[in-house]
Structure formats: C-alpha cells, structure tokens
C-alpha cells in the first residue's frame, strides 16, 4: 500500500491543495517572470478585463496575479522556516528541561512561561520594530513567539522517557548525558511535536500576513498581507485587490489545517 493510500482522506485533500500551492510558488518566476512589484499596465484593471492580466492590476498598475504567485513564495518561506526554527528551539529547551530536571528544569520552564504570557504576534511585532523588516527578521521574530508549545510537549515526553530501559542501557554503555538526551531521547520524544507542526505553520502564515498588513513586512518582497493592505484605500471601488489575496490566505491556512488534522487522525495504519 502506498503512502498516499495510507493517508486519511482529509489529509489527501489538504496535501493535494498544498501541493498546488507549492507548485504555484515554485513556478511563479516562469509563469510571471520579472519583478512582481513592477508597474506593467494601467492601474485598476478589473479581473478578466485583460487577458495579459487575468486578475487585474492594483492602484499603481502592478499585476495582481504576479503578486499572488510571488507572494506565495514569501508566505511559504517565512511560515515553514519560522515553524521549523520554533519547533527546533522548543524541542531543545524541552529536552534539556525534562532530562536535566532540578534547577535547570525550573529555570527553563519559568522562561517558557514568561514567553507564554505575551502573545506571539506582539513578540514578533516588537522584534521586527527593533531590528527592521526583512525576511530573516520575520522568520526569527515569528519563531520567537512560537517555540513554547513545543518546549512543553517535548518536556512532558522526556519526563516519561528518561527512566526507560533504553536510557539505562545507554548510560551503561558509557554515553554522556547530552548524547543520551539528544541521540536517544529526543528522537523518541519528537513524535508528538509533529502534531504541532500544522498549527505552528498556520499561525506563522497569519502572523506574517498581519505584520505585512501593518507595514512591517519586507519592503522588497510582495506579500499577501501587503496586498490586502494596498487594497484598503480602494475597497469600495476595487474590492478584488483585497479579496483575492485574502481568499488565498484563508485557503492556505485551511489547507494546512486539513493536512494536520488528517495526519493526526489517519496515521500509518489507516487506509
């Protein structure tokens, strides 16, 4: 049985939609080459009024379809990279807290709780405000507010794993504490973190869009959030400028959630 057939039907739908989004992002330079921020036609062309610009143009005459496709690249890059950084950092904190215990556990968990008291969006907003908007800054800023759930989940798993027989066997073989923690325990504790991946990616997509909407995105890259913000000024006369990227944003978040829910329910043994 193939891996595709083992997936939950919900995961299949989500995976198919997500694959389409990834292909759109990868093929953007080929389908819509050039700078998506360049002025290419008269402003405020309606969708389907010009075959060269099927989704119309914005207030400056920039192609909406080009912005949509290139914006997908920005969205996926920031979301996946920041989610990976958040899950990685949280896993390291969780395994250190759970395995070492004692003072290390107390200190790391208090730090985790301190970060949890501040909403992730506010942390990201503060970080970008201080360091300036750019893609690397967005990635680090979003990860800064998203690592705590992974830390708590991994810590709970490590607490249940550190007294298992395979850990005692590793100690008997002379392995050091850090080698045991990261080579033996972490791979076994990382499974439940996978269920957080979809939530983390979806949250990162929304935070990146919100930051770009407020003007804290990378000014050299097109973003769905900045496209929605651009359409605010002409929302009554040209609502498509905000509706098109808004629908893309909603569809992407729903797709990620479908994949996450499907994988959680499906598992390898389901057909």
* 270 pLDDT above the threshold of 80: no
Cα diameter, the chain: 74
* Cα-based distances in Å from 13 to 4, 6, 82, 244: 11, 13, 25, 22
**Domain boundaries of the chain, sorted by first residue:** 76-219
Q: 62 φ, ψ to 5°? A: -90, 145
Burial 228-253, CB ≥16 within 10 A → b, else e: bbbbeebeeebebbbebbbebbeebb
Percent residues over pLDDT 90 in the chain: 52
For the chain, what is the radius of gyration of the CA atoms? 22
Give the model's confidence band at 194: pLDDT under 50 very low, under 70 low, under 90 confident, else very high: confident
* 251 pLDDT above the threshold of 80: yes
- The pLDDT assigned to 210 comes to 94
Give the model's confidence band at 7: pLDDT under 50 very low, under 70 low, under 90 confident, else very high: low
Whole-number Å distance between alpha carbons of 271 and 72: 32
Give the model's confidence band at 222: pLDDT under 50 very low, under 70 low, under 90 confident, else very high: very high
When pLDDT is averaged across residues 229-234 and rounded to a whole number, the result is 90
- The pLDDT assigned to 110 comes to 93
pLDDT in tens, 37-58: 999 999 999 999 888 999 999 9
The answer to whether residues 87 and 189 touch, using CB atoms and an 8 Å cutoff, is no
- The pLDDT assigned to 263 comes to 66
Neighbours of 194 (CB within 10 A): 12
When pLDDT is averaged across residues 255-270 and rounded to a whole number, the result is 68
- 76-219: CATH topology is MetI-like fold (1.10.3720)
Give the model's confidence band at 268: pLDDT under 50 very low, under 70 low, under 90 confident, else very high: very low
Answer yes or no: pTM beyond 0.75: yes
């Amino acid at each position: 049985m193939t891996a595709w057939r083992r997936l939950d039907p919900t995961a299949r739908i989500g995976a198919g939609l997500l694959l389409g989004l990834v292909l759109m992002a990868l093929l953007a330079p080929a389908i819509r080459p050039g700078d998506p921020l360049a002025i290419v036609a008269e402003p405020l062309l309606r969708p389907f009024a010009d075959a060269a610009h099927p989704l119309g143009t914005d207030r400056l005459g920039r192609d909406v379809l080009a912005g949509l496709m290139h914006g997908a690249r920005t969205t996926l890059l920031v979301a996946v990279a920041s989610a990976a950084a958040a899950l990685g950092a949280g896993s390291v904190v969780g395994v250190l807290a759970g395995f070492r215990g004692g003072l290390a556990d107390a200190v790391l968990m208090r730090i985790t709780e301190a970060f949890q008291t501040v909403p992730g969006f506010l942390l990201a907003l503060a970080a970008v405000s201080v360091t300036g908007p750019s893609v690397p800054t967005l990635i680090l800023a979003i990860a800064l507010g998203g690592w705590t759930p992974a830390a708590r989940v991994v810590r709970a798993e490590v607490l249940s794993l550190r007294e298992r027989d395979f850990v005692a066997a590793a100690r008997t073989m002379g392995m050091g504490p850090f080698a045991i923690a990261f080579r033996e325990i972490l791979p076994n504790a990382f499974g439940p973190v996978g269920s957080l991946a979809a939530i983390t990616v979806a949250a990162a997509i929304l935070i990146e869009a919100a930051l770009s909407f407020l003007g804290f995105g990378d000014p050299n890259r097109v973003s769905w959030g900045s496209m929605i913000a651009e359409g605010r000024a002409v929302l009554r006369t040209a609502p498509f400028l905000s509706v098109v990227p808004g629908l893309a944003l909603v569809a992407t978040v729903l797709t990620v959630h479908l994949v996450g829910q499907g994988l959680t329910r499906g598992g390898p043994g389901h057909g």
